[in-house]
Amino acid sequence: MLSLEVVIGYMASITFLVMIFVASFVEMPAWARIVMIAVGASAFAVGMTNCLKIEHEVGYYECPECGETYIPSMKAVVFAPHIGRSRKMTCPHCGHRAYHKKVLTK
């Protein structure tokens, strides 16, 4: 599932960027540019929504302080700053705020 998340993320991002570049550099009417950018943005939004859903549902996060694993709320996953698969969240067990690493087993 996590590999699928990467594929979806890259495909959505590439689609969005290609649509933006085509709308920027190809001669076309203004309405066609707007449609291309809107289609690219909607494909990106759908792709990122699915990626975040997979990120939330697959695996657990492990607190570096107490070692407990937990599943955060969807809101925490969406709004937490992240680097790769680690997200800066507050542990529900000990209250420690740090970058919690994604683990697949409990």
The per-residue pLDDT for range 11-67, each reduced to its tens digit, is 999 999 999 999 999 999 999 999 999 999 999 999 999 988 988 888 899 999 998
> What's the pLDDT score for residue 37?
93
Q: For residue 92, what is the DSSP state?
A: T
Domain co-membership, 38 together with 52: yes
- Considering its fold, how many domains does the chain have in total? 2
Q: Residue 50: which residues within 8 A CB-CB, separation 6 or more?
A: 5, 8
> What's the pLDDT score for residue 105?
78
> What's the pLDDT score for residue 84?
84
Rounded to two decimals, the pTM is 0.75
Expressed as residue numbers, the domain containing 35 is: 2-57
Domain co-membership, 47 together with 75: no
